[in-house]
Amino acid sequence: MCGRYSLSGPNPAILRERFALGDDVPVRRRWNVAPGDEVLAVTTSREGEPRPDLLRWGLVPHWAKDVKAGYKMINARSETAGEKPAFSGALARRRCLILADGFYEWQPREGRRRKQPFWITRADGEPFAFAGLWATWHGGEEEVVRSCTILTTAANGALAPIHDRMPVILPGPDAERQWLDHGSPLGLVHDLMAPLPDRAVAAREVGYAVSDARHDEPDCLDPPPAPEPDAEPTLF
C-alpha cells in the first residue's frame, strides 16, 4: 500500500533536468500528495517518446462509470497487475514514472490508538520515480481524465517491520528508461518491479500532521512530539 507521498525537497530546476521535464509542466513542492490529487509524471507518446505530464492519482479504467473508481485503484500489485483487466493493457503499453522524494507508511504501536507515521526515502535523499501505469478515461460532455496508479511489491527487510508492502521505486535513470521503453520485453518489465535493497532506503518517524490528507504543509515532515512525562506520584 502506498497511500501518501511527497515531492518536498528538490529544486524545480534539478527535477526538470533530472527527468527532462522541460518547461511545459508546473513543478511545485508537495509534502502530502493524496489520492485524487494531480501528480507530476512522465508518460510516453504513441511513438514512445517520453513526455512530462500531470495525471490524477487513482487509475480510472476506460470502462469505468465515473472517476470515483480511481480511489480504489491508487495502487496495483506488481505480482498480479498483468492479470487484472484494469491494469494489464497499461502494463503492456502505458507505463509511466511518478516523481517523488519520499512516501509515508503507518505502523501500529502496542498501547496506542493512533498508528505511527514514517517518512521513507532513498538513503541518499535523492528524488526518484515510482513505477506507474496510466490510462485515459472519457466521460460525458467531452470530459477527459488522464490518471495513474503506483505499483507495489513486497517490502524489503528494512521496511517489513513497518508494513508488508512498499511501492516499486525504480533504482535509477537506466531502469527508468527501460520502464518507459515500449520495446522492453515483459520479462524485463517484471524484473524491474522489485523492492529496492535494504541499504538503499531510510525511514524516520514523523508527527501526525501527515495523517490529515487535506494538510499539505512542511510540518508533515516534522519529528513526532516528545511523549508526555509520567505524572509524579502523590503522597496522599
Q: Is 105 a catalytic residue?
A: yes
CA distance 123 to 127: 11
From 2, 96, 148, 220, active-site residue:
2
Q: Is 2 a catalytic residue?
A: yes
From 49, 83, 96, 105, active-site residue:
105
CA distance 160 to 93: 31
CA distance 225 to 93: 46
Active-site positions read: 2, 105
